[in-house]
Structure 1
Amino acid sequence: MKAPTLHKHYTALDGLRGLAILLVFIRHSFLTTHLNSLPAQILAWLGSGGWLGVDLFFVLSGFLITGILIDSLNKPRYFKDFYIRRSLRIFPLFYGVLLLCWILTPVLHLQWQLGHLSYLFYCQNIAVDLNPSLSHVPPALNLEHFWSLAVEEQFYMLWPLTIFLLRDPRKIIRSSLSTIAVGLLARCILLLVFPSEKIMEWIYNGLPTHADGLLMGAVFAASIRIWSLDEILRRMRWPVYFCAAIAVAIVAISHRLDFHTYLMSSVGYTVSAILFGGLLLRCLAPGSSAQAFFSTKIMRFFGKYSYGIYVYHLLFTPVLSRLLYRLQALLHSRLLGAMAYLVLWFALSIAVAVVSYKFFESPFLRLKDRFAPPKDKDPDVIANDLTTVTLVGQSAVR
């Protein structure tokens, strides 16, 4: 198989991001409708596995960000450019939404707590573990999904220095795999000493215990700079098959797709990271079915607006959910009312995300080239273009 080339845009990665946001929405949709029929319960059971969408986001982030960092190592403004470009992509929407919510306080009668200040410093995942009530702002805001934004931002704060010190892709691979092993061991010890759903939540929300996806993405970003894509796919074939068998066993033993099980909270995150890493690699393979599917316009559309959809889709559900019961009463059917509600909720989430991207986020994105001009082209594009220059038989960083 011909190796991917530098600066070639791999649209399948956009579509893979689209799958991630769809999985997240599916999970939250079935937590909202409260239907009790057998078909609805089966769908809800399947939908409960949608939390894996966040793990897919992690794998993509680890892969793309590590690629950007490796390819920027020899640039004089390595740290400055990275943080400027990341800030212009992430901060405007995040802090803009928090500012909007604060402005709406008298309108929605929001009841803020002192602990909500943690959101300003991307520490909400830690704060919510200590005080679960901080995941909401009664009576109108739901901020529980913001935990993953904190995990990624904490990773972004630590990872550039790590890559700068390691430099060699082989060292990055060894360090990432070692850290994954330490995280797995830490989860097993925590679950053994403190066996409870609360500790499962702590494990799920914490960077040290839920970094498998980010680090596995980094492993593949470094690997593809050493070996050909064919070689990596060959090496990963049996690990992926083995992890698929483990995933089936976990579900069969636990009877659940949710992460609130001992098996999923221990080995599950490592297994999902490897499986999603394998899927990512297939998306890079020219002519593969994965590349064809995730390159479709519909999947790329969801991927393009995934950040906004993720931020907005749960934000006002305490208020929006009142519409569910009205629709069920209007249509004289819990099922039809729930279906109408989900369609409306999803459509509104997409519409708000599109408007936000075009009129609020895009002006900030255009500032990237002004304050952190790339040498050749936008590093984010190079990354999604597969910052994966494949240098067969030699290190990408000398």
Structure 2
Amino acid sequence: MGTAPGPAPQGRYYIALDGARGIFFLCILSLHVLEVWNHLPLPSVLGLAYAGLQWSWMAVDMFFILSGFLITGILLQMRGIRYATRTFYFRRSLRIFPPYYLVLALLAVWWVWEAGSIRAMTEKSHLSFWVYLQNFYVARNGWGDFRPVTHLWSLAVEEQFYLLWPLLVLMLPVRRLWWILIGLFFLAILLRVTMVLTGFSGVAIYVLLFTRLDDLAAGSLLALIASSAAGREVLARWAYRLMLAGLAGVAVIWAVRGKYWLLDPVVQMFGYTANIVFGAGLLSLLAFRDNGPIVRALFVNPVMRWLGARSYAAYLLHFPIAIGTQRVLEAHGSDPLDGILSTWVITAVLTMVLAELSWRYWETPWLSLRHRYQPGKARAPSAG
């Protein structure tokens, strides 16, 4: 998603988080491949795999937590530096906007072709993507309109968070940030419960910023805790406990409901919080513990780190590629089993090739412009 590789709190670089980003992306890709074939009966041989992938949407929560952690860590480093706000927004714009708007421009051809008219570009459903308001459109109208990029609702959530949160981190005393984050965390939970009980759309609850703020607030709280050596020791000590507590919550809901799906009302009231607890533990495990060979093999291997570094463009591209691949294969009479497996392989290969090209020839040149806007010298530290 929108999180880009970079320094974490206090200038540290947590190598395993790149691998985690790669694994989270593969979970989302796999779920979307099954989704584009879901209008046909799924082969029984894939029943167990599909049941497992029903949990893979949790990767979205992991991305949100990671985003809050990394962005807040960067902002904490910039506190007290002249022109910090302008520098932050300039650099984030170079990281986020070029790939995003390039993909939208390319997909505009798809919009016009499917609609048969260039006037399709002026429809509200399409215009909302250009200003990062697509999550509001999806919340009101569901997933149906312009399916190839409906997955970009998550980037709208992150961009809306980036709009105001940097100002608070850079301007307010740290002690106030703690209370703001704690308040936002519980506000999001209360809002979700209230919306479920009053009959709001499950899609709206899933995609709106204020109902997902607890993910971003949790990641930001981890960054605040990790800003001290003592805090990092606490996170390392509690990593496994948080993971087990989160998984226990997920398992209980799954046992009671017989499923663990993102639009289930019980999951929305309590499961999202269980996801966050697990995600906070996993991030703490990867960042602050000296992990064993299994964890290193999964999260520090070169393939996952490579994919993690390119996961932003990969996330942008994979769903339209999967949809296009599925349409071609179904038109040629591919049966669901072969179609699903072929769609996964083709989507993964094309996505990774295009993500690498994007990284080398589009994203990196834009990122090289960051040196043209340097922050000023540090100001005298203020109290708080």
- TM above 0.5: yes
Shift of 1:375: 7.5
Indicate the residue corresponding to 1:127 in structure 2.
Answer: 137
Q: Which structure: greater helix fraction?
A: 2
* Structure 1 residues 374 and 251: alpha-carbon distance in aligned structure 2, compared to 1, 3 A threshold: farther
Deviations 1:44-102 (A, max 9, x none): 12112221111111011000000011110110111100100110000111111222223
Q: Count residues in correspondence.
A: 366
Indicate the residue corresponding to 1:385 in structure 2.
Answer: none
Q: Tell me the distance in 2 between the aligned counterparts of 1:370 and 1:124.
A: 32
Range that drifts further, 243-252 or 57-66: 243-252
Say if 1:173 and 1:223, in contact at 8 Å, map to a contact too. no
Indicate the residue corresponding to 1:273 in structure 2.
Answer: 276
Pick aligned residue for 2:125 from 106, 115, 126: 115
SS in 1 for 2:317: helix
TM-score (norm 2): 0.87
Q: Which one-letter code corresponds to 2:69 in the other structure?
A: F
* Structure 1 residues 248 and 135: alpha-carbon distance in aligned structure 2, compared to 1, 3 A threshold: same
Shift of 1:236: 5.4
Q: Which one-letter code corresponds to 1:181 in the other structure?
A: F
Shift of 1:324: 2.4
* Structure 1 residues 335 and 100: alpha-carbon distance in aligned structure 2, compared to 1, 3 A threshold: closer
Shift of 1:214: 1.0
Pick aligned residue for 1:350 from 349, 352, 364: 352
Range that drifts further, 37-46 or 53-62: 37-46
Q: Tell me the distance in 1 between the aligned counterparts of 2:308 and 2:376.
A: 24
Q: Which runs of 5 or more residues in structure 2 are unaligned?
A: 1-7
Q: Which one-letter code corresponds to 1:128 in the other structure?
A: V
Range that drifts further, 333-342 or 179-188: 333-342
Say if 1:284 and 1:291, in contact at 8 Å, map to a contact too. no
Q: Tell me the distance in 1 between the aligned counterparts of 2:143 and 2:267.
A: 25
Indicate the residue corresponding to 1:19 in structure 2.
Answer: 23
Say if 1:243 and 1:274, in contact at 8 Å, map to a contact too. yes
Aligned 1:125-204 pairs, distance under 5 A: 125-132=135-142, 135-136=145-146, 142-168=148-174, 170-194=175-199, 199-204=201-206
Q: Tell me the distance in 2 between the aligned counterparts of 1:86 and 1:325.
A: 40
Indicate the residue corresponding to 1:220 in structure 2.
Answer: 222
SS in 1 for 2:65: helix
Range that drifts further, 292-301 or 184-193: 292-301
Task: Report the aligned-residue RMSD.
Answer: 2.6
1:87 aligns with 2:93: yes
Q: Tell me the distance in 2 between the aligned counterparts of 1:235 and 1:9.
A: 20
1:232 aligns with 2:235: yes
Say if 1:62 and 1:214, in contact at 8 Å, map to a contact too. yes
SS in 2 for 1:49: coil
SS in 1 for 2:262: coil
* Structure 1 residues 337 and 236: alpha-carbon distance in aligned structure 2, compared to 1, 3 A threshold: closer
Give structure 1 regions of 4+ aligned residues with deviation exceeding 6 angstroms. none
1:304 aligns with 2:309: yes
Q: Tell me the distance in 1 between the aligned counterparts of 2:254 and 2:201.
A: 20
1:244 aligns with 2:244: no
Say if 2:321 and 2:347, in contact at 8 Å, map to a contact too. no
Shift of 1:229: 2.1
Percent identical among aligned pairs is: 30
* Structure 1 residues 263 and 10: alpha-carbon distance in aligned structure 2, compared to 1, 3 A threshold: same
Say if 2:21 and 2:63, in contact at 8 Å, map to a contact too. yes
Say if 2:321 and 2:351, in contact at 8 Å, map to a contact too. no
Range that drifts further, 15-24 or 338-347: 338-347
Q: Which runs of 5 or more residues in structure 1 are unaligned?
A: 377-394
SS in 1 for 2:13: coil
Q: Tell me the distance in 2 between the aligned counterparts of 1:102 and 1:243.
A: 41
Q: Which one-letter code corresponds to 1:324 in the other structure?
A: L
Shift of 1:175: 2.2
* Structure 1 residues 247 and 367: alpha-carbon distance in aligned structure 2, compared to 1, 3 A threshold: same
Pick aligned residue for 2:37 from 19, 33, 40: 33
Q: Which one-letter code corresponds to 1:256 in the other structure?
A: K
Say if 1:225 and 1:396, in contact at 8 Å, map to a contact too. no
Say if 1:56 and 1:276, in contact at 8 Å, map to a contact too. yes
Shift of 1:19: 1.5
* Structure 1 residues 228 and 129: alpha-carbon distance in aligned structure 2, compared to 1, 3 A threshold: closer
Indicate the residue corresponding to 2:4 in structure 1.
Answer: none
